[in-house]
Structure 1
Amino acid sequence: MTKDIISRYYAAFNAGDGEGMLALVTDDVEHHVNQGEIRRGKEKFAEFCAHMGVSYREELRDIVILAEGDRAAAEFTVHGTYLQTDPGLPEAKGQTYVLPAGTFFALRDGKIARVTTYYNLADWVRQVS
């Protein structure tokens, strides 16, 4: 069940289906962002997803999901295009990037309660600069 939920989450991500992603998270989801603040709650997660959809176009490939009980981890490669400048980051000019990344999940009552994503920000900055 856990692996299926994570597979559906990534299928929604790759389809650009923010509502599909939101349907899979708890109301009090914690989103631990790489080198950033923790976003708490579905509303903050929805804001993040909307922002990402405007600033970046990304497809996750080579996804490998490991799951046990109510925990899961996924490793994947992000293939993206930087569409709109994010404050504090290099100027967006349609640059493309390929970036290895990973996410850890905790589930509760059949929904995702925590999303913790890691990637090498310095590598991303180098690729888009």
Structure 2
Amino acid sequence: MDPNNKAILEKANAAVSGGDNEGFLAFCTDDTEWTFVGDQTLRGKEAVRQYMATAYVEPPKFMVENLIAEGEFVTATGTISMKNEKGRMVEYSYCDVWRFRDGKMAELKAFVIETGAGEKS
């Protein structure tokens, strides 16, 4: 188990929360693959970059409840708030399972469920 994987994920999340998508992507492998269970799969850093450009027009707000590391995996649970396509803040509960390779995030399996809307517009 690499104890740095949790620290890497924390740094990556801090970058994206600060609006630094490229800083976040620096922690990902070029062939990173993100699977949003029941929705879509993004293959490669460029696909993730394009997703972030549209989904994270305004940086998301994370509340990490748990980070659990085992072997090459780090699991994060918590809530995330971000604007939807109508510009309204929506809150989601999530469980992200990250697989690391050589100190970078190589794969994400994300379980994301809408739990409610925040501020109305």
- Please indicate the TM-score interval, normalised by the length of the shorter structure: 0.7 to 0.9
Specify which of 94, 109, 120 is matched with residue 116 of structure 1. Answer: 109
Structure 2, unmatched stretches of 5+, are none
What is the 5 A alignment of 1:1-129?
A: 1-54=4-57, 57-82=59-84, 85=85, 92=86, 94-121=87-114, 123=115, 127=117
Select the structure that is richer in strand: 2
Q: Give secondary structure in 2 for the equivalent of 1:3.
A: helix
- Which residue type is aligned with residue 105 of structure 2? I
Question: Contact conserved, 1:28 with 1:113, CA < 8 A, in 2?
Answer: yes
Gaps of 5+ in 1: 86-91
Structure 1 vs Structure 2: percent identity of aligned residues?
27
What is the deviation of 1:95? Answer: 2.2
**Which is richer in helix?**
1
Name the Cα RMSD after superposition: 2.0
Quick check: 2:17–2:61 contact (8 Å CA) kept in 1? Answer: yes
Which deviates further from its counterpart, 107-116 or 31-40? 31-40
What is the total number of aligned residue pairs between the two structures?
A: 116
Runs of 4+ in structure 1 off by over 4 angstroms are: none
